[in-house]
Structure formats: C-alpha cells, structure tokens
C-alpha cells in the first residue's frame, strides 16, 4: 500500500462537476420555539468549506495530488466565499461564473452534535453550451498534452454534467490513456460507456439497473439481488471496473461475473458527509498509481472509513491512511 500512496505526489488529476458551498452552522438547542414545535438554535459558529466536486478536489489535495477543478458558480457572494475556500497550492480552480444561476449552497444546522436541518439553495438547469464547450476543450487539451493521469466526474445532479460532455471526455481520455471515474446520480445522465470506474452506492445501483432492492431479505438473498443488479449495470455501461459502495457493509467489486465484498473499515460513524468523495478520490488515485482494483478499493475503503469518523465534510491525508489500523 505504501508504494501506491508514495506515487500520489506525482499525479495530476482533473475534477469536473457540481461544485457547491457547504456551510455548517453550529449551535446549542435547549428549548422549543413558542411559535411552532421546532427547536430554537443559539448559534455560536459557522464553517464554510467546498462541497461536491470541490470536496473531491480538497480530498485530492490532502492526498498530495495536484488537481485541476472545473465547475460553475454564480456571480454572487457565495461564489466568492467558495472560491476563497480553496487555499491549497495543489488545487487550480477553473470556476466559470454564470450570472443566470446562484452558487449551489448546502447549509446544515447542527445542535448538540445532531444535524437538525439542511437548507439548499440551487438552480439545477443544464449549463449553456458555451460553458460546456469551454470545459471539453480545456480538459481535452490537458489530456492530449499528457498533463493528466485521471479525470473524475463529480455528479450531484446540479446541471454541470451532461451525457454529451461526459462521453466526449471519456472518449478523449481513453485515446490518451487517462483513467476516468464517475459516481453517478440516477436520472442525471443517459448511459455513458467505457469508463474506467463506475461507482454507485447500493441505492443508485438498483436505480441504474431498474430493479427493486429488498431491504428486509436475508443477507444471501440481498447479495444475489446485488449481483443481478451489478450484471445489468455492467452490460449497459461497460466500465472496466464496477464498484458499489454499501455504506456500513463496505464495498462490492464486480469482476468476471462475481462480487467481491470488502467489509467496512469504519470504526465509528460520526458524519457521512462527503465520505463518497473521499472514496472516489483515493480509489482513483490508487489506480492511477498502478494499483489493481482490489488495492484501490482497499485504500478507498480505509480512507472513507476514516472520513466518516470526522465531523463535517472532511478530508483524509496519506499519513492517516498509512497509519490506520
């Protein structure tokens, strides 16, 4: 594992997708409002950090990977706050300002160590074709010049990624030996083919396979259902690797018609915010560093297990992965 992680600082990875501003508003709640049966929160702190594709970039930077981030923000104060959040020298930001839409914001209100409410501000319409063309041209140029080892698509169904954009970049990546990875959101994209890694969670996997899961079935029946869903996804999308995150049950890797289950590495779950981004970043970099899919999944599993033990949208460093037990 150390050999793979030691190669991370030589990697260049691009991320394209839905960037957002995560706001964590912390307070104390000791009573209910006299106006409605809701808690009153007395605020003592606010934290601002990049979410969505921005969190993937932050995770790459924490792993000592050089990253180019492509996304869209509004011409507003939230866009300025988001841009100022990127302090790492490992992240180059290419954030297109679109005055026709607000910066996507997710604000979470936390009191007494419990999240009580999340408020979203967003516009999920598809981006204009001129913005899409800007992204395709610039990322394709980086790949053709040999300046990228991997490309991560971060889809939160906020309008930046289209089927056409993703497929064009996949085709260019394959022609230039660049690894591609997508964490899909059902209903956001049509079928895109020939990714290196397709990584849905269990719920997303059943939606992609157009199947119903059975939450109350036995473990053996649930595994058979998951295998059937994986086969359908693999036949439709033809990725090189299909990895399905199973939350507390770990990861499932579909390979040669079989499922290999890696149990979760999490010791304690405090907050799942952004853990999927941590998994995607660490797993993709492990593949780009020459690891096999099982090595990459093991490293990603360890990293996401560390992330869920932290408060808020958190990143995981190479040293944390190396020192995990």
> Is 277 labeled as catalytic in the residue annotation?
yes
CB atoms within 10 A of CB 4: 21
CB contact at 8 A, 68 and 82: no
Please report the DSSP string for 130-195 in residue order: HHHHHHHHHHHHHHHTT--SEEEEE--SSSS--HHHHHHHHHHHHHTT-EEEEE--TTTS------
Query: How far apart, in whole angstroms, are the C-alpha atoms of residue 67 and residue 88?
Result: 10
Contact 248, 201 (CB under 8 A): no
Instruction: With beta carbons less than 8 A apart as the criterion, state whether 320 and 282 touch.
Output: no
β-pairing, 258-262 vs 251-255, is antiparallel
* ∠ CA 66-72-77, rounded to 5°: 105
Q: Residue 111 forms beta bridges with which residues?
A: 27, 114
The catalytic position among 6, 18, 277, 295 is: 277
DSSP 122: -
* Ramachandran angles phi, psi of 273, nearest 5°: -55, 120
Cα–Cα distance, 9 to 4 (Å, whole number): 10
Q: Which DSSP symbol is given to 100?
A: T
Q: Which residues are catalytic?
A: 277
């Amino acid at each position: 594992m150390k050999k793979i992680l030691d190669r991370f600082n030589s990697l260049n990875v691009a991320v394209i997708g839905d960037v957002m501003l995560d706001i964590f508003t912390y307070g104390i709640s000791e009573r209910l409002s006299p106006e409605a049966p809701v808690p009153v929160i007395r605020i003592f702190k606010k934290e601002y950090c990049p979410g969505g594709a921005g969190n993937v970039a932050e995770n790459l930077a924490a792993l000592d990977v050089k990253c180019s981030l492509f996304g869209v923000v509004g011409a507003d104060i939230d866009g300025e706050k988001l841009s100022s959040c990127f302090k790492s020298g490992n992240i180059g930001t290419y954030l297109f300002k679109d005055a026709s839409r607000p910066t996507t914001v997710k604000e979470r209100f936390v009191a007494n160590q419990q999240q009580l409410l999340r408020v979203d501000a967003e516009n999920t319409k598809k981006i204009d074709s001129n913005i899409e063309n800007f992204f395709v041209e610039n990322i394709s140029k980086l790949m053709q010049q040999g300046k990228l080892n991997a490309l991560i698509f971060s889809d939160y169904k906020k309008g930046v990624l289209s089927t056409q954009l993703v497929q064009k970049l996949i085709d260019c990546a394959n022609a230039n030996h660049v690894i591609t990875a997508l964490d899909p959101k059902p209903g956001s994209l049509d079928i895109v083919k020939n990714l290196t890694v397709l990584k849905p969670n269990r719920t997303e996997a059943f939606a992609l396979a157009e199947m119903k899961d059975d939450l109350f079935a036995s473990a053996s029946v649930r595994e058979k259902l998951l295998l059937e869903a994986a086969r359908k996804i693999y036949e439709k999308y033809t990725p090189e690797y299909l990895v399905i995150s199973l939350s507390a049950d770990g990861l499932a890797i579909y390979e040669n018609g079989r499922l290999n289950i890696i149990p979760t590495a999490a010791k304690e779950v405090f907050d799942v915010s952004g853990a999927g981004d941590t998994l995607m970043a660490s797993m993709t970099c492990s593949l780009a560093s020459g690891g096999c899919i099982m090595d990459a999944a093991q490293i990603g599993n360890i990293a996401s297990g560390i992330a869920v033990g932290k408060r808020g949208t958190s990143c995981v460093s190479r040293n944390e992965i190396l020192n995990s037990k």
